[in-house]
Amino acid sequence: DSGVTQTPKHLITATGQRVTLRCSPRSGDLSVYWYQQSLDQGLQFLIQYYNGEERAKGNILERFSAQQFPDLHSELNLSSLELGDSALYFCASSVEGTNGELFFGEGSRLTVL
């Protein structure tokens, strides 16, 4: 158990819909990262938050947004869903500092029909 909690584990929805994925980082970790992994693909970095502030942005679509709340949990919002958005979405957390390690949650599997 990495200590990073993600909900829901599985989500099936239709095109055009909107979903919210939730992540609770490890206790004490201020940084939260979101990654997308399509079938048999690598990990695509979406966005990073540190202590409530956006820190870095990757290949995140305009239809996607995220935020980190004062209690440090984070939500990834995906809207106007398309078939190609079907993927595993991972949240990861780390402590600040260049020697911090990254710990992943078990992921949320999104299926768009």
Partner 1 sequence: GQQLNQSPQSMFIQEGEDVSMNCTSSSIFNTWLWYKQDPGEGPVLLIALYKAGELTSNGRLTAQFGITRKDSFLNISASIPSDVGIYFCAGRPGQNFVFGPGTRLSVLP
Residues forming the site for partner 1 (CB under 8 A): 2, 4, 31, 33, 42-43, 45, 48, 50, 55-56, 88, 90, 94, 96, 98-107, 109
DSSP SS3 for 76: strand
DSSP SS3 for 54: strand
In angstroms, the CA 23 to CA 52 distance is 13
| Distance of closest approach, residue 16 Cβ to partner 1, in angstroms | 26
- If the CB atoms of residues 42 and 70 are measured against partner 1, the closer one turns out to be 42
Contact 103, 4 (CB under 8 A): yes
| Distance of closest approach, residue 80 Cβ to partner 1, in angstroms | 26
